[in-house]
Structure 1
């Protein structure tokens, strides 16, 4: 919330109470309440106008499905890789390349032209 922690908020509230004073505090509290009610009314009116202008087609839309915070890139990539082509169509190692014992379903290790496995950089991306 605006980079203010709990202690700073308490200090601001105490300063406001001291500066405004007890005799003017009820008036300002009433003004704040009226402002909040007015803001809620404006928000409700805006929601009503949007619903009216979009029509019946958009009333039953599940907006939570369109929330970008629900997308996990790891899950999306995993699902895309699992739905990929079958292992029979994957390229095989060139002749003379050493056979590696990779787990079933794992993609084959890349091979450089002279038949050695490609170097692996564990710090890359």
Structure 2
């Protein structure tokens, strides 16, 4: 919860009890409880409104499956390479393309003109 572990939360509660004192502590605890209930009510209302606006088509979606924190690019690439029928198989060398000769780009005949690429559209 907000990067606070149990020990730090306990220390904060003790400091809060000492600062507020026994007179105002029950009042602030009741206000905090009311605030938590109100936030939960608002979250449930927003969730219900979203469900109503999206319709019944989105009720069966597994939202945890779409969580971007679960994506591992290495796993996705590995699965895509190993599952594709045309992809290279590990350990084979027959699928490697043959080396092709690379030609040098044409030289610019006049130094004042911009280079011209005949293959560009």
Question: TM class, shorter-chain normalised?
Answer: 0.5 to 0.7
Task: Give me the whole-angstrom Cα distance separating, in 2, the residues matched to 1:86 and 1:19.
Answer: 67
Listed as ranges, the matches of 1:1-125 within 5 Å are 1-2=1-2, 4=4, 6-82=6-82, 83=84, 85=86, 103-104=91-92, 108=96
Count of residues in correspondence between the two structures: 99
Q: Distance in 2 between matches of 1:103 and 1:109?
A: 15
RMSD of the alignment, in Å? Answer: 3.1
2:110 is matched with none
Report the TM-score, using the length of structure 2 for normalisation.
0.64
How far apart are residue 105 of structure 1 and its match?
Answer: 6.1
Distance 2:95 2:69 in 1: 30
Q: Is the 8 A contact 2:17 2:25 kept in 1?
A: yes
TM-score using structure 1 length: 0.62
